[in-house]
Amino acid sequence: MGKKLVIGVLASGRGTNLQSIINSIEEERLDVEIGIVISDKADAKALSRAEDHGLKQQCIRPSEFDNIKEYEAEMIKVLEENNVELVVMAGFMRILSSYFIQYYSNQIMNIHPSLLPSFPGTDAQKQALEYGVKVSGCTVHFADEGIDSGPIIIQSAVPVLEDDTVTSLSKRILAEEHRLYPKAIQLYAENKLRIRAGKVEII
């Protein structure tokens, strides 16, 4: 058996996507190793989820550094010390600078709760409801220097119902996120993703 891909997960909040990645690994649907979970928030539930599963976790607070570059340099140092080859953003509420993005060029994934390129940024589900789309969903993409831009890896659609609220739509989308993210990471681990002319080909 070959060496497993080592991923590093960045999360700021409740960490349900992290949990779905952990579950997928434990249930042997995802053949990677989590090298470290990093949060910018000490009270992120994602950190305790990691701890509960015996994973390495660390809080790196931006406020402890003089500037963003030093903060990101520390993140890179910790990711490297833990041999991370793919950075997985799972509800990480910070925008990474071009320094970090270029350092891990095409090695950072993000998940977003809309069918990109529609509704990037915050409150994607609210944006979808306000626009009146009949279908929404989620997108896993490689991160580039824009906000929720970057080559799309896989997407999944869900219906938007007439009586949907932000809560009910978010819940329906989140269930799909939990299915989709492990799948995208597994495709990367199997070396099945190629980026050509800004588009991802699944080979």
**Residue 199 Cα distances to 12, 64, 130, 164, 185, angstroms:** 28, 37, 29, 32, 17
DSSP class of residue 60 equals -
Q: Which of 53, 112, 141, 178 is catalytic?
A: 112
Query: What is the nearest approach in angstroms of ligand GRF to the Cβ of residue 167?
Result: 12
Work out whether 15 is an interface residue with ligand GRF (CB under 6 A).
yes
Binding ligand GRF (rule: CB under 6 A), the pick from 16, 24, 82, 136 is 16
Distance CA 25, CA 185 (A): 11
If DSSP codes are grouped into helix, strand and coil, which group holds residue 20? Answer: helix
If DSSP codes are grouped into helix, strand and coil, which group holds residue 181? Answer: helix
- Asked about 112 being catalytic, the answer comes back as yes
What is the per-residue binding string for ligand GRF in 43-82, x denoting contact by CB under 6 A?
----------------------------------------
For ligand GRF, which residue has the nearest CB?
A: 91
Q: What is the footprint of ligand GRF within residues 108-137 (CB under 6 A)? A: 111-113
Name, in order, each residue with C-beta under 8 angstroms of 197's C-beta and a sequence gap of 6 or more. Answer: none
Active site residues: 112
- In the complex, the residues that contact ligand GRF under the rule CB under 6 A are 11, 13-17, 90-91, 111-113, 174, 177
